[in-house]
Amino acid sequence: MRLEQLTFTRFLAAIIIVVFHFGLTIPPFNHPSVSFLFSNVGVSYFFVLSGFVMIIAYSKLGRTIKPITYYKNRFARVYPVYLIALLLSIFMMWLCNIPIPKDALAFNFVMLQSWIPPYPMLINRTGWTLSVEVLFYLSFPFLFNSIYSRYKVSIIAVWIVTFWLLSQMLSSYLQSIQWNLKHLPINHNLLYYFPLMHLNQFLIGNLFGLLLLQTKDRFSRNLDWLVIILLAITAALLKYQIPNANYHNGFLALLFGGIILVIGLNNGMITSICNHKVFVFLGEVSFGIYILQIPIHEALYKITKPFYYTQPNNFFYLYLVVLILFASLSFQFIETPLRKFIRKL
């Protein structure tokens, strides 16, 4: 089952992350009426959507997943463009005479950097999320074969929501004390980038994927109004953030799961627009937009440094165009051919 209307939301999340990193001072994103929308929650949405898509994609294949085939397909999907971004980042660091620690390089190549607190943000900083996704991918065949295929959704929901609630309590507590209790072994990288701190979001995505499978025949209809309401609630929670709630680590995961579920069930105008082939294509290249954003920004800055300082607004929009174009070319001529090649091995 493919829900193309969800594909475009990946592009929107990727652009929100790019603006958060590089465009918060650029009009119109810096205007108070919209600036709060470009907060650090796009990755959380990606994690929830990843869990949702895994259920939808593999439920049609029967009650078991063959782990080796699954791992090969996942590797083929994410590693080619990840490697492109990593090599480009290494090249830019070499060009700028920035030292590259050999151990950090090794951990990045095998996508394990987020497990070791000093390394998530070294080399290509956005690559930390792929290190987290490795945990998701490794665990999913077991979850699907041993839990999701054997227990009722109601029981699974209790387990997952309880795990999410406990993880949010722990995450919020650690966030509240990390700057006050210096003697504790609490580290920013460990709190925000350690894979186990994000497993709750993937599981919430799994849960809402299971809910869609149970409800799609009965509740598929025009739900544009409900999509708008849920987006309005999200905007309100971003503008008036709850103190000590760790939005980065999945505080909004249940809400994101609900949005994804409703968009998946919706057959109204919003779905029709999102299903346009241009928007679907932008969603397909969104992973490239996300993972390439930092090395492309560094490369363009290096090439057009005077332009960056004299016309920062125009530089950002030029960067956005170049990033989308580069990600599109990479998807068409590198990622897709390599993915097909790896899957045939």
Least Cα distance to 160 among 129, 125, 199, 119 occurs for 199
pLDDT in tens, 42-76: 999 999 999 999 999 888 756 688 899 999 999 99
User: What pLDDT band is residue 3 in, cutting at 50, 70 and 90?
Assistant: confident
pTM (two decimals)? 0.94
pLDDT digit string, tens, across residues 237-260: 999 999 889 999 999 999 999 999
User: How many other β-carbons are positioned within 10 Å of the β-carbon of residue 58?
Assistant: 18
Structural domain count of the chain: 1
Both tokens of 72, joined, read 């090969």
Domain that holds residue 202: 4-344
User: Which position has the higher pLDDT, 169 or 118?
Assistant: 169
Distance CA 32, CA 199 (A): 33
Distance CA(305)–CA(308), nearest Å, equals: 5
Residue 297 has pLDDT above 90, yes or no: yes
